[in-house]
């Protein structure tokens, strides 16, 4: 039943597949957008994860790492994920019949769902920490410890998961291109 769905979908989007396969500028542009979005979004996310993991729990440095992450990183990462989703959909539709039967494609999609769920967990954990920092001036170097270490541990756990999933998704993507 699912195979017939993908068979019909492949037939429906065949004009796109033909255009994609015969237009090197288009196919290169779509693939480049996908890879650059993953590179930039993943790079920024892993850099933020690294800052979180390097910061000692309960310190002013840790709080500032969370602030910097919230203020700068999430908007770029979310934008990159949207671009990656759009370009990834275009890539999938360029050869539905091939991608739909590749186990590594579905493994990559599963890892992407885990990454998105982890991102939501991270944002939730960051909001808890940020709620405790609401009345504290972030710009001071003598910032008191404003949250529990278990709250910071939740952020650290999501940073570890993120730092593992981003490279895995890239590796799965590379395997897909060689399948």
Neighbours of 144 (CB within 10 A): 10
Which among 89, 79, 97 is positioned nearest to 40, based on CA atoms? 79
* pLDDT classification of 15: cutoffs 50, 70, 90: very high
Q: What is the pLDDT of residue 39?
A: 95
Which pLDDT tens digit goes with each residue over 45-91? 999 888 888 877 666 666 666 766 666 788 899 899 999 999 999 99
* pLDDT classification of 29: cutoffs 50, 70, 90: very high
- Residue range 116-129: mean pLDDT, rounded: 86
Q: What is the pLDDT of residue 65?
A: 65
Query: What gap in Å lies between CA 79 and CA 85, rounded to an integer?
Result: 10
Name the residue with higher pLDDT: 150 or 179: 179
- Mean pLDDT rounded to a whole number for the chain: 86
Q: Which residues contact 75 (CB under 8 A, 6 or more apart)?
A: none
* pLDDT classification of 17: cutoffs 50, 70, 90: very high
Return the ∠ at Cα 99 (arms to 97 and 100), rounded to 5°.
Answer: 65
Q: Which residues contact 162 (CB under 8 A, 6 or more apart)?
A: 45, 46, 49, 115, 118, 119, 122
Query: What is the residue extent of each domain of the chain?
Result: 2-177
DSSP state of 140: -
Q: What is the pLDDT of residue 140?
A: 46
Q: What is the pLDDT of residue 56?
A: 73
Q: What is the pLDDT of residue 37?
A: 96
Residue 36 has pLDDT above 90, yes or no: yes
Neighbours of 54 (CB within 10 A): 11
Query: What gap in Å lies between CA 36 and CA 108, rounded to an integer?
Result: 17
Query: What gap in Å lies between CA 177 and CA 148, rounded to an integer?
Result: 45
Structure tokens at 35: 């890879």
Which pLDDT tens digit goes with each residue over 53-62? 887 766 666 6
Name the residue with higher pLDDT: 137 or 55: 55
- Residue range 114-119: mean pLDDT, rounded: 93
Q: Which secondary structure element, helix H or strand E, spans residue 135, and what is its range? A: none
DSSP state of 58: T
Q: What is the pLDDT of residue 124?
A: 86
pTM of the predicted model as reported, rounded to 2 decimal places: 0.82
**Could you give the residue ranges of the DSSP H alpha helices within 100-140?**
103-132
Query: What gap in Å lies between CA 8 and CA 144, rounded to an integer?
Result: 61
């Amino acid at each position: 039943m699912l195979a017939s769905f993908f068979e019909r979908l492949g037939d429906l989007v065949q004009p796109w597949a033909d255009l994609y396969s015969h237009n090197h500028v288009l196919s290169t542009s779509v693939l480049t957008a996908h890879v650059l979005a993953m590179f930039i979004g993943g790079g920024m996310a892993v850099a933020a994860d690294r800052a979180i993991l390097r910061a000692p729990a309960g310190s002013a440095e840790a709080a500032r790492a969370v602030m910097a992450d919230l203020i700068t990183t999430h908007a770029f990462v979310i934008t990159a994920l949207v671009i990656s989703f759009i370009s990834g959909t275009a890539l999938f539709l360029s050869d539905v019949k091939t991608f739909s039967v590749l186990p590594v494609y579905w493994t990559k999609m599963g890892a992407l769902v885990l990454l998105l769920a982890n991102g939501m967990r991270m944002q939730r954990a960051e909001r808890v920490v940020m709620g405790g920092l609401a009345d504290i001036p972030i710009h001071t170097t003598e910032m008191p410890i404003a949250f529990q270490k278990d709250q910071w541990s939740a952020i650290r756990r999501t940073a570890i998961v993120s730092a593992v999933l981003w490279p895995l998704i890239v590796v799965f993507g590379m395997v897909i291109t060689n399948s």
